[in-house]
Structure 1
Amino acid sequence: MSRDENRLAAMLKNGKADALCQTKTLGNYLWDDIPDETKWADCVHCGMCLEACPTYQETGEEHNSPRGRVYLIKAVAEGKIDINEAFSKPVFDCLDCRACETACPADVQVGGLIEEARGQIRQAMPLTGFKGAFGRTVLKGLFPYQKRMNAVGSLMRFYQNSGMQSAVRKTGLLNVMPAHLKDMESILPKVEKPVLGRYPEIVPAEGEPKQRVGMLTGCIMDVMFSDVNESTIRVLTHNGFEVGLPQNQGCCGALHIHAGERNAGKKLAKQNIEAFKDYDKVLVNAAGCGCALQEYDELFRNDPEMLPLAEEFSAKVEDVSKFLYDHDFERPKSEINTKITYHDACHLAHGQGVRFEPRQLLNEIPGVEMAELPDADRCCGSAGIYNLTHPDMAGALLDRKMEDIPDNVEMISMGNPGCMLQIAMGVKKYGRSEKVVHTVQLLDLAYQKDKEAANKFVKS
């Protein structure tokens, strides 16, 4: 069969009713969910994105720039190049940090193009060997299942609390691990029991409730940073909001979508759309998750049945810091005397356009001194699991981030768990002393001090 005949057969096999009318625009994309040509139509290759792109900054290579990747994606659609390793590598070397979208005067949606292209690559070039096994085991066999994630959390707690972690570190067993994995083990946070299933499905507000909001607990967030989830619940209820924790919610699917596993991402998206259908607002404390949830409508753009539901859901999603600021959060009265700098998580600053609000939450805490971080919105190298799949590039970006941390700050605040782990690794690597915290944790600490002060006043 000819190439066009193979393409048609593949499309018909996937059951697309409009397969025939799409053949002229598919080029060498053979599968469902092709990159959207309207996303690259406005790109004039002006180069405004170049200096915003971390991988271009590091390599100086055109194919590792946003406009270079857009050109490659367009070239496959025009049939000029094939889906092969030469195409796959620059597409997967992208951090998907969206800094180029902030810089682009034409608002070219590079992030969406990258994710759609990765979906095509993974269908044409499935992973094999260790990488394939990792995807099947972790992305498909672990993250989508809350009970399995909780089991991993239980094993991690046993590892930390039983003395096994200390023994493993003393014996040098970690030395057989790749350096970047060893570094990650060294900064693992204290793992506590997850919020989902431990808290009631509806956590009551303090005083007269203003509104009921849903909260995404997340997969990695609830296993490794359940303390951040607890702080988020306390801050919201302190401000008069009932917090709903639907038991049937799940992983947001961001890591799957970034990895090109779009069908797995869609399955998780459907689960969350159903779980939060009775809520008018869905709050998120993880930047990557929030950005993915806000783009469910993009994920289902070719599904006329799911698209209206996805659009309705995405419109309800908001980062918790923006929600608190927009709803006149209670200003703390007690002082936290500390000097803080703030790192902009990529998917919060570039993906959601949230920059001002988290800084204002911190500025409103008495005693907090803010020190501006140069290039605060440049990627730290975490980028989902990028620091696992591309440790060299991630390490170089982390080095640049740590060089920019202002002197004499005591805390580095941010709004994403991946960034928290990555920057904590940088703090340890450079022998620094800063504490890495989530923005909402500091607001929670201030409220706790307010309550302690009020209790002392009542007792006196």
Structure 2
Amino acid sequence: MTDIAASPNHSTQLPVLSNGPAASDQPRVGSGIDYERFLDCVHCGLCTAACPTYLETGNENDSPRGRIYLMRAVTDGRLELTDTVKGHLDLCLDCRSCETACPSGVQYGRLIEPFRVEMQQHEMARAGKKGSQGDWFQKWILYGLFPYPSRLRWALAPAKLMQVLHLDQFAEWTGLTKLLPERLRRMQRLLPPLKPREPGLPEFLPAIGPRRARVALFTGCVADAMFHHVNWATARVLQANGCDVVIPRSQACCGAIHYHSGAGQPALDLARTNSGAFAAEDLDAVIVNVAGCGSMLKDYGHVAAEMAPNDPVVAQELNRFVGKVKDISEFLTALGPIAPKGEVRMKATYHDACHLCHAQKIREQPRELLSLVPGLELVPLSESEICCGAAGSYNLTEGEMADQLASRKIKNILATGAETVIMGNAGCSLQIQAALRQAKSPVWVAHPMEILDLSYSRGQQKSN
């Protein structure tokens, strides 16, 4: 059996494998995946032009069909799960652009995500035998800090003070930030200017005008801590469209941070917490304004099937919840938006967040809503559906590739001549804001609901 070349940039060919599965008494990584999903891929290669990592490396091992080839070979026992193989799989952004490009309907997300869960289980079992405590960053930051908005707000307090006193700029200028571990240094650079926090959202906000719907707002974890103003803007837009808005206090992180890094059981636990928090039968929808969170919430049925395959109660509970989850643009377009009246005179472009356009198939709805705003000129963005490199925590763990994709995205944004770039995902916003700061560009990064809220507010002021 031959392995892949040691460096992903030194080999553009798929590995040559031995014929037939290898004998083993131990369950192989990937054995819990429906094998037919591997066979759906006919290796036609149409996905390669849509894959961000393949566009950057030109390496077949970093393409969707190449990764499927690797996962299937590991599952068959024809290829060992070496660090090199894991490196190619870890480099995947899970942006799902290959699903959009695939004519055969390959469910790539239903391959890479459960495969990563099994990889982590395998690594934890091996580490347990060696007495390893695991990766500190994953344990204390990704799992111990990010999913908890209250903890994150406390952790951000010193950073906010440093920004006010310009100590962050001083630390960067003097090189003090180089003393931090690489991933913490990247976290510091990704931090946006932290706005003063608005008052906490109440548990209920009434509709303005005739009531048309009763919805609940999913506030998220990182989104709640860093983009609390977007949650307020979303709530006000819903109110302006005749919606009663409920904000359950018992809601939790969507679980994407855990699930996409291979921690399946904590993701399932968070899914059940959210299902219970939004269990009210009189809700017309559970509204999400973050593409990554919305995609994860809509995948809860798959999480149940993978993590609790023999528990029909869990599956029924989570699938009932999934049926109510709607992205804010998806919901408002279906409801029939009340056109805002206030002018917002600016030239803007729209970036398609991967987990909105590829995972949720939502493309035209945000553009339709933005087209209602008087004075807003929306210009097209080249490669709008190519990932910016954020991908949840990817820009912290795969920094080199994330930076390459950010540079590609910023080049296209600046080429539009727009003064604002609009997107519906917190991770994209953090990534693109950081890249624009590095490029010394004043382009404003906004959420669609911020633009709509501004228009509704100005229209109300004009009428008064």
TM range (shorter): 0.7 to 0.9
Alignment equivalent of 1:52, drawn from 50, 53, 65: 50
When structure 1 is superposed on structure 2, of 388-397 and 68-77 the one drifting more is: 68-77
Distance in 2 (CA, whole Å) between partners of 1:313 and 1:131 is: 33
Contact 1:66-1:100 within 8 A present in 2 as well: yes
Distance in 2 (CA, whole Å) between partners of 1:186 and 1:140 is: 20
Residue type at the aligned position of 2:249: Q
**Distance change (3 Å), C-alpha of 1:87 and 1:28:** farther
**Distance change (3 Å), C-alpha of 1:151 and 1:179:** closer
Distance in 1 (CA, whole Å) between partners of 2:242 and 2:31 is: 42
Distance in 1 (CA, whole Å) between partners of 2:134 and 2:207 is: 45
Cα deviations by residue, 1:394-448 (Å, 9 ceiling, x for unpaired): 1111111112123321100000011011111221222222111111100011111
Residues 1:295 and 2:299 aligned together = yes
- Partner residue of 2:361? 353
**Distance change (3 Å), C-alpha of 1:158 and 1:179:** same
TM-score normalised by the chain length of structure 2:
0.86
Residue type at the aligned position of 1:50: T
SS at match of 1:412: strand
Residues 1:173 and 2:181 aligned together = no
- Partner residue of 1:20? none
Alignment equivalent of 1:149, drawn from 136, 147, 152: 152
Distance in 2 (CA, whole Å) between partners of 1:221 and 1:424 is: 15
Contact 1:322-1:354 within 8 A present in 2 as well: yes
CA shift for structure 1 position 168 = 4.0
Residue type at the aligned position of 1:208: P
CA shift for structure 1 position 218 = 0.3
Residue type at the aligned position of 2:424: G
Alignment equivalent of 2:335, drawn from 311, 314, 327: 327
Alignment equivalent of 2:60, drawn from 55, 59, 62: 62
**What is the correspondence of 1:59-138 to structure 2 with a 5 Å cutoff?**
59-126=57-124, 132-138=135-141
Contact 2:340-2:455 within 8 A present in 1 as well: yes
Residues 1:309 and 2:317 aligned together = yes
Cα deviations by residue, 1:153-207 (Å, 9 ceiling, x for unpaired): 4444444446654654565422434788656535633435767x92221111112
Once the two structures are aligned, what percentage of the paired residues are identical?
40
Residues 1:372 and 2:380 aligned together = yes
Alignment equivalent of 2:404, drawn from 373, 393, 396: 396
Alignment equivalent of 1:437, drawn from 432, 437, 446: 446
When structure 1 is superposed on structure 2, of 79-88 and 29-38 the one drifting more is: 29-38
Residues 1:218 and 2:220 aligned together = yes
Residue type at the aligned position of 1:207: G
Contact 1:62-1:68 within 8 A present in 2 as well: yes
CA shift for structure 1 position 357 = 0.6
**Distance change (3 Å), C-alpha of 1:78 and 1:187:** closer
Contact 2:28-2:74 within 8 A present in 1 as well: no
Distance in 1 (CA, whole Å) between partners of 2:118 and 2:366 is: 36
Residue type at the aligned position of 1:293: L
- Partner residue of 1:270? 272
Distance in 2 (CA, whole Å) between partners of 1:362 and 1:417 is: 18
Contact 2:187-2:396 within 8 A present in 1 as well: no
Residues 1:36 and 2:42 aligned together = no
Distance in 1 (CA, whole Å) between partners of 2:23 and 2:271 is: 28
CA shift for structure 1 position 280 = 3.7
Mark the runs of 5 or more structure 2 residues left unpaired by the alignment. 1-21
Mark the runs of 5 or more structure 1 residues left unpaired by the alignment. 1-23, 456-460
Contact 2:190-2:430 within 8 A present in 1 as well: yes
Residue type at the aligned position of 1:217: T
**Distance change (3 Å), C-alpha of 1:82 and 1:169:** closer
Cα deviations by residue, 1:24-70 (Å, 9 ceiling, x for unpaired): 99996447982232322211111111111111111111111101111
Distance in 1 (CA, whole Å) between partners of 2:452 and 2:28 is: 50
Distance in 1 (CA, whole Å) between partners of 2:261 and 2:24 is: 22
Contact 1:184-1:425 within 8 A present in 2 as well: no
**Distance change (3 Å), C-alpha of 1:179 and 1:84:** closer
Contact 1:194-1:222 within 8 A present in 2 as well: no
CA shift for structure 1 position 310 = 1.3
Distance in 2 (CA, whole Å) between partners of 1:83 and 1:224 is: 38
Distance in 1 (CA, whole Å) between partners of 2:61 and 2:103 is: 20
- Partner residue of 1:14? none
**Distance change (3 Å), C-alpha of 1:180 and 1:401:** farther
Distance in 1 (CA, whole Å) between partners of 2:371 and 2:410 is: 23
Residue type at the aligned position of 1:438: H
When structure 1 is superposed on structure 2, of 103-112 and 25-34 the one drifting more is: 25-34
- Partner residue of 1:428? 437
CA shift for structure 1 position 296 = 0.3
- Partner residue of 2:6? none
SS at match of 1:125: helix
Contact 2:256-2:293 within 8 A present in 1 as well: yes
**Distance change (3 Å), C-alpha of 1:66 and 1:25:** farther
Distance in 1 (CA, whole Å) between partners of 2:296 and 2:279 is: 17
CA shift for structure 1 position 340 = 0.5
Cα deviations by residue, 1:311-370 (Å, 9 ceiling, x for unpaired): 111121111011111111111122111100000000000010000010111111111111
**Distance change (3 Å), C-alpha of 1:152 and 1:193:** farther
SS at match of 2:445: strand
TM-score normalised by the chain length of structure 1:
0.87
**What is the correspondence of 1:156-305 to structure 2 with a 5 Å cutoff?**
156-161=159-164, 164-165=167-168, 168-169=171-172, 172-177=175-180, 182=185, 185-186=188-189, 188-192=191-195, 198-278=200-280, 279-301=283-305, 302=309, 303-305=311-313
